[in-house]
Amino acid sequence: MKTMGEQGSQSTARELVVIGLSHHTAPVEVRERAAAACADGAAALRGVAAIAGVQETVLVSTCNRFEVVACCSGNSAAIDAIAGFVAGAAGLSGPSDLVFKLHGRDAVRHVFRVASSLDSMIVGEPQILGQLKQQFDESAAGDAAGPVLFRVFHKSFSVAKRVRTETAVASRSVSVAATAVDLATSIFESLKGRVVMLLGAGETGEIAARHFLAAGVGQIIVVNRTFESAVELARELSATPVPLDRFRSYLPLADLVVGSAAGGLLLSTQDVHAALRERRGNPMFFIDLAVPRNFDAGIPSIDGAYLYDIDDIAAVVEDNIDERRREAVRAEAIVEAEVDQFWQWFEGLDVVPTIVELREYADSIRRGEVEKALSRMPSVSEDDRERIHQMSRAIVNKLLHHPTQALRGEGSAQDESRLLSAVRRLFRLGDGE
């Protein structure tokens, strides 16, 4: 990472920064204020782009973060102004510890980790990548993002793809509802066309039902003590509402039964025996998400009946979370390798112009001194004049060979940055002289 002192000595210096609020640093009410203040994304982008020294910017706003990703001139005034913009949007008075700042490689690493869902509250959640793509597209459409951030974000998308395909960081469900679907799939090879009965029309049951719908179940039956609530939820889910006192008549139709109703036991072993007889042995899967439980604990002893309660599912979720953590270690190694590769490209943005300037500077001195000497030797032939020029060019090339190789070297980012700064200061490149 470049220090501010090193950046200030380079005429071509540019800095990548991420400045913002996240679930690691700021409570949800602060993040909400910032998101609300910048609900007009185009106006917010114009506000950041108008800051002196900001060359490119992308605004990332989700439920877990409000962040400005910027490529700027590297001076502290531009970075402080971006931090002030974030603090102001969040309604914070003056500088705040809630606003984090990342520079250089740390900023690139952060964007790659966010895209790969390694910085999410739930590691491996898939939504963040789509959100990041949409918000980058908005910045690009508004001409706020340029070639550097184009490279940063598109590289982050490919890093996220590598993480998804080369690790299992997102392969196991870590929510109760999604885990219930996974468990049901382990019983039935496919959920396509299956019938789900929902006992309870509350939030828990609704979330589970929506996950089952997404998995392709064919029909949902909604049962609730208050029939009007069953009708209302059934309308939203394109499901069939059934009064509580009649649900046993519909039980044989259900391949999966999800219990999330208040009031305790609703389904006995006798009810399940009767349903399975009508189903002629076709299995039934029961998920009890209620506390107190809705289903008799003896149901698993019945052939063809499978029961998981909330503790069973919580144990599976915890196992899956542990597996994601282990896979996240592999994912972090992928991110670090990609950061190294990107940083070589980014450093080259300053290295190549510096090498060109250094060679032009040396060649201008060479030409001037050779012409001055030749002006005192009018009898020198054209062939000899060219030989003298060739010799002087060879001397310059030999003198610059090792400095050029060092600038193109593969040392640490900090060493490269210091060397670049030293070369520009020693040869006074970019100061107009």
* Between 405 and 415, residue with greater pLDDT: 405
- Asked if the model's pLDDT at residue 432 lies above 60, the reply is no
Q: Give the class (CATH, top level) of 4-170+322-347.
A: alpha beta
pLDDT on residue 11:
38
pLDDT, tens only, 211-221: 889 889 999 99
pLDDT on residue 240:
96
pLDDT on residue 429:
80
Amino acid residing at 287: I
Give span(s): CATH 3.30.460.30, the chain: 4-170+322-347
Average pLDDT over residues 374-393: 91
Strands (E), 38-136: 54-61, 65-72, 100-103
pLDDT, tens only, 345-372: 887 776 777 888 888 889 999 999 999 9
Rounded to the nearest 10°, the torsion over CA 257, 262, 264, 266 is -40
What's the CATH superfamily of 176-303? NAD(P)-binding Rossmann-like Domain (3.40.50.720)
pLDDT on residue 21:
95
Instruction: Report residue 1's pLDDT band, with 50, 70 and 90 as the boundaries.
Output: very low
Average pLDDT over residues 42-46: 92
Out of 45-54, 182-191, 383-392, 422-431, least confident range: 422-431
pLDDT on residue 413:
53
pLDDT on residue 345:
84
pLDDT on residue 6:
36
3-state secondary structure 252-293: HHCCEEEECCCCCCCECHHHHHHHHHHCCCCCEEEEECCCCC
Per the DSSP assignment, residues forming a β-bridge with 197 are 221, 257
Alpha carbon 76 to chain centroid distance? 27
- Reading the block at residue 397, the tokens are 């090339």
**CA atoms of 297 and 268, how far apart (whole Å):** 9
pLDDT on residue 414:
55
72 is catalytic: no
pLDDT, tens only, 111-169: 999 999 899 877 777 788 999 999 999 999 989 998 899 999 999 999 999 999 999 88
Give span(s): CATH 3.40.50.720, the chain: 176-303
pLDDT, tens only, 289-331: 888 899 999 999 999 999 998 888 888 888 888 888 888 899 9
Share of the chain above pLDDT 70, in %: 93
* Between 10 and 276, residue with greater pLDDT: 276
Which one is catalytic: 38, 63, 71, 72?
Answer: 63
Average pLDDT over residues 37-55: 92
pLDDT, tens only, 257-298: 999 888 889 999 999 999 999 999 799 999 998 888 999 999
- Asked if the model's pLDDT at residue 105 lies above 70, the reply is yes
Report which of 282, 332, 350, 314 is spatially closest to residue 163, judged by C-alpha positions.
332
pLDDT, tens only, 66-94: 999 999 986 789 999 999 999 999 999 87
- Asked if the model's pLDDT at residue 255 lies above 80, the reply is yes
pLDDT on residue 174:
67
Instruction: Report residue 433's pLDDT band, with 50, 70 and 90 as the boundaries.
Output: very low
**CA atoms of 161 and 155, how far apart (whole Å):** 10
pLDDT, tens only, 208-244: 888 889 889 999 999 999 999 999 999 999 999 999 9
* Between 334 and 126, residue with greater pLDDT: 334
- Reading the block at residue 309, the tokens are 């309660």
Q: Is residue 113 within 8 Å of 129, Cβ to Cβ? A: no
